[in-house]
Structures are given as structure tokens and as C-alpha cells.
Chains A and B, each alone.
Chain A
Amino acid sequence: MNFDFSDDQKQLRDEARRFLTEKCPPKAVRAVIDGKAPYDRELWKGLADMGFLGVAIPEAFGGSGAGHLELCVIAEEMGRALAPVPFSSTVYLAAEALLLAGSDAQKQKWLPAIAQGNAVGTLALFEGSGNPSPKAIKLTAANGVLNGTKKPVADGAIADFAIVAARTGSTGRDTDIALYLVDLTSEGVEAKALTSIDPSRNQAEISFKNVKAELLGAANEGWSILSQVLDRAAVLISFEQVGGSDRALEMGRDYALDRIAFGRQIGSFQAVKHMLADMYVSATLARSNCYYGAWALSTNASELPEAAAAARISATQAFQHCSKNNIQVHGGMGFTWEFDCHLYYRRSNAVAVGLGSLSYWEDQLIERMRQKNAA
């Protein structure tokens, strides 16, 4: 047993941190929040040049083929820096779906473009309020023609293509759902940007009117593919959440060391110390659950569904806990626009619901544990 990343992987993490510290300071995040651009294109191109976009894409499809453990350490740094780019939509969702279910031609068309930074992809799943469920999918597909609306779609207004979950039948079974690959420049597609609690990331509504689309994977396997994609993305997004948790904890710790009140560092008061200690506990539990998720993801272990749900729950809790208490440690200053605390608070709460919310994953985890026990 060796329950840690390798030295090479740690080196990659350091490299990613150096790169993002330089290219993605809070100022860059704020430029997107202020609406100067829908995402940071220069950073996106830089990530491609560093090889980060294609780290888990095989060499045959234009990536470096390094693997998913490498992607995990990069994800952590992306979360830590609050990178205002469509990384999770493109790399964790679209690319993973293509890798799992795409035809050779589909992979050849999109994966090299992703790795080079020339294509932004996303997953169009949700149709209003609710969590991932085959029942919630109303958008129809008939003879390869899509009709319906998806909302919210993360990075939907900046994506070049989307994997769209569509209904092909009404038997009430999971096999009613198919996945389609849609070039978002196609006729009949209309994307409209939406405002959100985290303006550092794009959210959109996409409507499809008689849009021609190609199947991704077998028609009756859409939901099964989607479930696997969600599990894989859950682990990766959890690493972003862990990165964000750690940064929020550090910000709180640093402020507690700098700020003087009642004639002493506020970090010397037990009420503040214990709050920070509890944040450390949350972040540590999340990190450990994520490491297990990373192991399951990288080895395609049968434990992945359970490991992914545990990582997701733990990381969601940790990021929300650390980001809200970071504001609390900062006191009034934490509630100013000028301080960066709210950027983490916003991201932590946006990412908490973006891939199925906490209650969804809680239910999934226990269901999966129950099934394993019954087996």
C-alpha cells in the first residue's frame, strides 16, 4: 500500500500551482466576474500549452496520456485558484463522456481540439430545478433530431459542443435516455447566458429546435454512460473543492495571525482557533476521501461509485464550511467586495449544486452501500 501521490505527481502539482499563481491571480478571476470576458481565454490557451487540458486524454487523441491521478492534482490547483475557465465542463464531463462512449471518429474530432484548447465542451443535463434523474429529462430525440431546453448548462454560452441527455421513449426505464453529441453552432441551437451566484463561471440556457445530432454511445445506454460520467466527474470536482477548502482555510489562518484585536492576535483566541481547527478537520477528511476516489478513478475499481459519492459529499461539506468560516474569521472585512473571501464562498456554493447537490449524493452513497451490502 502507498496511499499518496507519487513524487512525479506532486511535482506536477507544484508546477500547476506556480503556473496558476502567476497566470490566475484573484485579479484574473475578478476580470471575469466584472463581465470583461465570459472566461479567461488567455489562461485557457496557457493551460493547453502546459498540457493540462489533455493530461488524461490518450496520446492517440492528442493528449499526453499521463492519466487521471495527474488530472486530480491539476484539478486541486484549479479549484484553489478559482480558475475562471470551462475546465470542469470540458475536461471532466465532455472529454470523459467521449472517452467512455465516443466512436473513434467522435474522439478524433473533439479530443485533440480539447487538448489544444481549441474546443470547449459541456454536458447539457438539467432542465430546471432538480437532481440527476432519468425522469427529469423531457428534451426529446426522434430520428436524431432534438427538441427541448436545458437549464442550467455550465459554460453553455461559451461551449463549442455539448453532450445532451435526451428522451427517446416513455417506458419509464433508464433505457429511455440517450446521449447526443451536438455541435453548438448547428442551426436551431440558441444559447443564452444566465446570471448566477458565481459569475466567475458561465451558466446558460440552451434551447434546441429541430437540431440534428449524432448519438454518443448506444441509444439505450445513455443513462448508464451518464452515471459513469457523473461518478468520474464527481471525483475530479471534489479535488477542485479540496483545493478551494485549503485556500480558504489558509486565508482565514493568515488573517487570524495578522489581525490584532483586544491587544493580541485574534488567532490566539480559542473561539477563533477552534473554528480554524474544525475547518482543518473538514478539509483533511475531504482530502482523504478524495484520495480514495482518485485511486478508484485511476484504476477503474468496482468501488468507484461509492468512493465518488463519498468524495463528493465530503468535499462539498469541506469547501462550504471553510469558505463560510473564512468570512467569519475576517469579520466585517470578509463581507467587503474588495476582499477575496466572497469569491470562495460563491464558488463553494455554486459547485456544491452543479453536479447533483449534496442531498442527491447522500442518497446515492447510501443506496450504493446498501446494494453492496446486499450483494
Chain B
Amino acid sequence: MNFDDTPQEAAFRAEAKAWIAANAPKQYEDELKKAALGRIQLKSANILEVAKAWQKKKADAGWAVPHWPKEYGGRGASPIERVIWQQEEGVFGKLGALFIIGHGMCGPTMMAYAAEEHKRQYLPPLASGEKIWCQLFSEPAGGSDVAGLRTRAEKDGDDWVINGQKIWTSGAHYSDYGILITRTDPTVPKHKGLTMFFLDMKSPGVEVKPIKQANGQAEFNEVYFTDVRIPDAQRLGAVGDGWNVSLTTLMNERMAIGANVATGFPELFEFCSSLMLDDGPAIDDPAVRSKLANWAVRASGLRYTAFRSISALSRGERPGPENSIGKLVAGAMLQDVATYALDLQGAAGVLNGPEDAEVAGKFQAMLLRSPATRVEGGTDEILRNIIAERVLGLPGDIRVDKDVPFNKIPTKGR
């Protein structure tokens, strides 16, 4: 039980620290520190360009995705070294938000299933941020029940022809490639008729439409496929094995999201430290303290749970369903923390103009964005099911569509 670096870890940390000190785009440090939850904007520069430039700089020095193998653009760092890098990169890590899906989910899926030549061709530019990837899973009729998806892939010579629609695709509008799960056989039960591909997002017939979200931003998209052709060589895994391939992606998604989640606690603690109430600083108020303490131990509990997972990972264990806890706890916390921060502001809590609102409207933005956190990447309810079934060993839901051919499953509630 220790937090001390081994000599190798200390050397890795020193090297990372020195390189970051010499190379990080410090002109954006303050803005990044203040950035609210959701899509980050910079006042004086295009975030996409700044993020890509930082990622490329890291890649040239071998820091792009440290835990990936060297031949695919990483440096073969251990799980602990990956964490050390994240700690040292600090606020500049926020610039990596654009690449999380590519590095956290698409990359590992490619590594597990793509042909070697494709890995060598596609992974290094994904690592360096020169190419951005997205993940095309959710559909209007397949959210939590993602295996209920309807996008068709039909074989035509050496190609597959894709028709259908995806939704909630983060960053599709600036993505170069995507991994796509499709239905290749509607006559078998739903989990058995799926197949995974990767594709060029500039392929003819791909149309991306941004979704205006409830908080006014547009991080996600609808993606329409009309007779899009994908070579069979870009298939990931066997025909009909798409569900298993997607589980690899989702497992990595959980680790990518779970290990480094925002809870809103540090922001709230800072806010309560500076906010003056009638009787003095908010942080001296017993009611405020009680609330803060409850969130403090949830935030620290998550942090140390992640450390335990990383320790297990470095012993060679695979990331398991227990990592579902990260987003489950953090999502609800963000919403509650934001609600409470507005409560402390009283009537002025309604304002969100950067000049008028407390802390430039950070908590108002958090309030309006947080409902999505509880839905994206597995709803709270799906995550509880995963914990109950796969950690505690409780029975699965009774699935009425389990053994029914997909094309015989009802499509309307009433």
C-alpha cells in the first residue's frame, strides 16, 4: 500500500514533467482551468486547432497515447505511467477531450480486431490527432438496448452497402473515421445478427447533422447512411460477431470514462471557500459543510477506486464491470452539485451570462449539461444493472426478445 513512485516511475514522471514544462501551450492555461463542463471554447483561438497542435506535438515526442504500443503511435507505457502522464499533463489534458473516443474506444477495438496493415496505417495518425475518430453505435431505436439497432449492412461483391441512421455520435462533424456497428442478419435473434466495420467518414452517402441539445450546444450528431459502400477488408471481427466486438469497445469506454471523471466537487469547494453569506464565508456554515463533506468523500472515493483499478490493471487484471461505478456516481453528483451551487447563489443563481453570473456561469452550464452525463455512455439504470448482474451475480432481466428473430420483434408500444 503506497503512493510512492518506484525509481522507474519517478524517472518517467521527471521526464514527463520536464517535457510538459517546455512544450505545453501555456497561453491557454487560465482559460482551460476555468472551462466549464461540456464542449470547451477558447476566446482567442479555435479549440480544434489548438487541441490538434498539442496532440501532434506530443506525438512527435512520443507522448501522444503513452500506453499504446510504439508501433501504433504510443510508447508502451504501463498503466501506472499512463496515470502519471495524466497527473503531469494536468489542465492541458482537457485539450484531449476531442480524442477520447478515438483513443479510448476506437483505437483499442482496432487493435483487437483490425488487420495488421490497417493497424499500422490508421493507428499512428489517430494517436497523433491528425485524424479524429468517432463511434457509431446508438440509434433512434437502439439506445440502452443498443443491440436493437436497425442500420443495415448488405453484402455486394467485396463491399458492404450500408443504409440507416445513427444518433448521439460525438464529434461526427469533425471526424475522419468511425467504427460502425450494423445489422447484417435480421432473421436471427438481435445479438447474433450484428457486424462491426470501420469506415471513412468522407465516404459518399454519409451525411452528418448536428443535434441542438437541451443545453443549447451541439456536441453530438445524427449520421445518415445512404448506400454507403465499405470494403469487406474493413470488417472488424467475424460476420455476426459484432456484439462481442462492441463489448470490447464498451469495456474500454468504461475504463476511459471511469478513471478520470469530473464530479464538480473541486469547483464547488473553491466556490464555497470564496462565497460570503450573511454570517460569514459559506464554508463555515454547518449546513454547507455537511453537504460538502458528503460530496468530498464521494469524489475521493472515486479517485481511490480508480487507483485500486489501476493497481489491479498493472497486476495484469482486465478492466471489469466494477468500473461502471465511476460515471454512475459522478453523473448524479455533477447534477446535485450544480443544483446546490445555484441554491447558494439565491435569486442570482438564475443568471448565466459570463459577466453577471458567479464564477462566469460555470455552475449554470454544469446544471444544464449534467442530465446528459447520466445518460451518455450507459444510463444510470443500465450501469446499475451491470453492477447488479455482472458484479453481484443477480439474475438478468427477463428478456422477451431474447430468442425471437430480430424482424419479428414488435416496433411500436401502442
Contact = CB atoms under 8 A, between A and B. Distances in A.
A and B together in one complex: yes
Interface in A248-292: 249, 253, 256-257, 264-265, 267-268, 270, 272-274, 276-278, 280-281, 284-286, 288-289, 291-292
Contact of A2 (B1, B294, B391): B1
A289 B389 CA distance: 25
A97 to B, nearest CB: 24
A365 interface: yes
B394 A253 contact: yes
Contacts of B303: 288
A3 B328 contact: no
A22 interface: no
Contact of A363 (B286, B310, B387, B398): B286
Interface string B305-316: 101101110100
Contacts of A274: 381, 384-385, 388
Given A281-B387, A366-B283, A369-B269, A310 B1 contact: no
Given A1-B5, A268-B397, A291-B1, A273 B296 contact: no
A359 interface: yes
Contacts of A292: 300, 304
Interface of A is mostly: helix
A72 to B, nearest CB: 9
B296 A3 contact: no
B283 A253 contact: no
B12 to A, nearest CB: 12
A373 interface: yes
A314 interface: yes
Interface residues of B, number: 51
B296 A310 contact: yes
Contacts, number: 158
A92 B311 CA distance: 28
A141 interface: no
B320 to A, nearest CB: 12
Given A4-B1, A69-B1, A294-B1, A257 B394 contact: yes
B145 interface: no
Contacts of A314: 297-298, 300-301
B296 A369 contact: yes
Interface in A310-368: 310, 313-314, 317, 359, 361-363, 365-367
Contact of B297 (A268, A284, A365): A365
Chain A CB within 10 A, most for which of B289, B292, B381 = B289
Nearest to A256: B394
Nearest to B292: A366
A285 B302 contact: yes
A84 B337 CA distance: 40
Contacts of B387: 277, 280-281
Contacts of A288: 300-305, 307-308
Given A1-B307, A268-B394, A281 B1 contact: no
Contacts of A298: 1
Given A270-B385, A276-B388, A285-B301, A2 B395 contact: no
Contacts of B3: 1, 3, 295
Contacts of B396: 268
B296 A270 contact: no
Contacts of A270: 381, 384-385, 397
A265 B397 CA distance: 11
Nearest to A264: B398
Interface residues of A, number: 50
A362 B290 contact: yes
A145 B4 CA distance: 48
Given A6-B1, A286-B301, A362 B289 contact: yes
A273 B389 contact: yes
A362 B314 CA distance: 34
Given A284-B325, A362-B290, A366-B292, A277 B388 contact: yes
Nearest to B285: A366
A256 B4 CA distance: 42
Nearest to B396: A268
A370 interface: yes
Contacts of B286: 359, 363
B184 to A, nearest CB: 31
Contacts of A2: 1-2, 311, 314
A5 interface: yes
Contacts of B394: 253, 256-257, 265, 267-268, 272-273, 276
B71 interface: no
B385 A313 contact: no
Interface in B379-414: 381, 383-385, 387-389, 391-398
A281 B383 CA distance: 11
B226 interface: no
B186 to A, nearest CB: 28
A319 to B, nearest CB: 13
A281 B2 contact: no
Q: Which 3 A-B pairs have the closest CB atoms?
A: A285-B301, A362-B293, A273-B388
5 contacts: A6-B1, A253-B393, A274-B384, A314-B297, A373-B269
